[in-house]
Amino acid sequence: MSGKLWRLSAVEAVALLKKRQISPLDLIEASAKRIAEVEPAVNALPTLCFDRARDHAKRIMADPSCEASDEAGWLAGLPVSIKDLTDVAGVRTTYGSPLFADHVPTKSHPLVERIERKGGVVVAKSNTPEFGAGGSTFNEVFGRTRNPWNTSLTCGGSTGGGAVSLATGEVWLAQGSDHGGSLRRPGTYCSVVGLRPSPGRVTRGTSSNLWAPLSVQGPMARSVADLALFLDTMAGLCPHDPMTFDAPSVSFSDAVARPVVPKRVAFTADYNGKMAIDREVRDICTKMARRFEELGCVVEEASPDIGNIDEAFLNLRSQQFVVDRELQIAEHRDKFKPDIIWNTERGLKQTPSAIAWAERERAAFYRRMIEFFQTYDLLVTPGAPTSAFDVNLRHPETIAGKKPENYMAGSTVNSVITVSTCPAIAVPCGFDQYGRPVGLQLVGKPRGEAALLQAASLCEQLLGLDKLLPIDPKVGTVPPS
């Protein structure tokens, strides 16, 4: 058993932990061994904290009947990774920035406190782009994280390290965050599942943008059942975040165990022609979306009217960068990568009228989405506009044959949904001709995570791609663009 523990699903491992057939220390040692084996090839978990993890594991083992053991999402000593944007007390946390290369917080983020209270054991910090800005995971502190399906390719961003740590079996669950697709795009590129929850479902804790719903925290996993378990761990009211609300009375794990088939499914490859999508990605996603008919669903090609929401997103995102980065850039401009400076200065230059227009556009789009979901139970789109690209690039060279206008262009298929506040999940749906993972983005009704996870679970069962994980990293070359 000891040599195969890293292959267990999170649900399987937690079940064995609860029965005391294995211990948290067993899993920590299995994780440590697997990390040592695969890290040189992928660079997903640059900061390790095994001594701290062992101390936490011993406390759990000494008191297995603690107050959280009967709560939904109890992890019973399961090792997890935490994104390097999120503070873990006593563990180096850099935010991917040279400014914080030696930063060691004394207090954990409220979400980490919640995860640890519910029996999650933090063994490592996962790599991220600088301050989470970018669709490819690299920074000047730790370098580049590589895609385990082909180590010449990017794993996506910004929760790239988390996605890779799952795909390779280094950990069983990974915490991440999502602004313009940072849980969904790495999920797509690495063939794992990543959920962007509704704003308020999971605490953002220490954010300076506490009243802005664009950026959220959320879970990643190798399967939908594992992800539902981790969402149960994370979800609930938090006094540090005014947008949070109570966890549901029926756990997400219970909802996934009894999935309900959506009646009407809408699929759009490109939001009525407003989105550039590579042809092969489009074809694979279209074929998979049609397979919902095998479940008894009515599948129709339909898209909400997105208007100019891509431009509105950039306005709102840029304003959020002003809140987060204006003062730091003023003092340490030479320490920031160009993408962050561009996004922040774009916000500083835009007028109050531009922000007001974006807010009106966002409100109108939300109303159109509500109307759309009166007809459809689920919206399905491609999970990314291209397959994974060269690990040395900041973004794809081309999308459907055209050069992207900026580094966010590769995330527009995701960021449109960000503005809607609807929950969305990346689910693997196949591979392109070069063996690169392709995924779907499933979008649910606002605060409709339970139904969304049920649909994702049914989609997963149709293909069984979760059974391919975890994998050993594969060396490859960059396919032609």
Residue 83 in contact with residue 96, Cβ under 8 Å? no
Per DSSP, what are the bridge partners of residue 83? 126
0.85 exceeded by the pTM?
yes
HSE on the CB side for 239, CA within 13 Å? Answer: 1
Residue 209 in contact with residue 203, Cβ under 8 Å? no
For the chain, residues with pLDDT lower than 70 are 1-3
Q: What is the chain's Cα-based Rg? A: 21
What pLDDT, on the 0 to 100 scale, is given for residue 406? 81
Q: Can you give the three-state secondary structure of the chain, one letter per residue?
A: CHHHHHHCCHHHHHHHHHCCCCCHHHHHHHHHHHHHHHHHHHCCCCEECHHHHHHHHHHHHHCCCCHHHHCCCCCCCEEEEEECCCCCCCCCCCCCCHHHCCCCCCCCCHHHHHHHHCCEEEEEEECCCHHHCCCCCEECCCEECEECCEEEEECCCCCHHHHHHHHCCCCCEEEEEECCCCCHHHHHHHCCEEEECCCCCECCCCCCCCCCCCCEEEEEECCHHHHHHHHHHHECCCCCCCCCCCCCCCCHHHHHHCCCCCCEEEECCCCCCCCCCCHHHHHHHHHHHHHHHHHCCEEEECCCCCCCHHHHHHHHHHHHHHHHHHHHHHHHHHHCCHHHHHHHHHHHHCCHHHHHHHHHHHHHHHHHHHHHCCCCCEEEEECCCCCCCECCCCCCCCECCECCCCCCHHHHHHHHHHHHCCCEEEEEEEECCCCCEEEEEEECCCCCHHHHHHHHHHHHHHHCHHHHCCCCCCCCCCCCC
Name the residue with tokens 């007028």.
351
CA dihedral (153, 324, 192, 92) positive or negative: positive
CA gap 194, 175 in Å, rounded: 9
Q: How far is CA 373 from CA 261, 360, 370, 443, in A?
A: 15, 20, 5, 10
**Domains in the chain with CATH codes:** 2-468 (3.90.1300.10)
How many Å from the N-terminal Cα to the C-terminal Cα in the chain? 43
CA gap 278, 383 in Å, rounded: 12
What pLDDT, on the 0 to 100 scale, is given for residue 169? 98
What pLDDT, on the 0 to 100 scale, is given for residue 64? 74
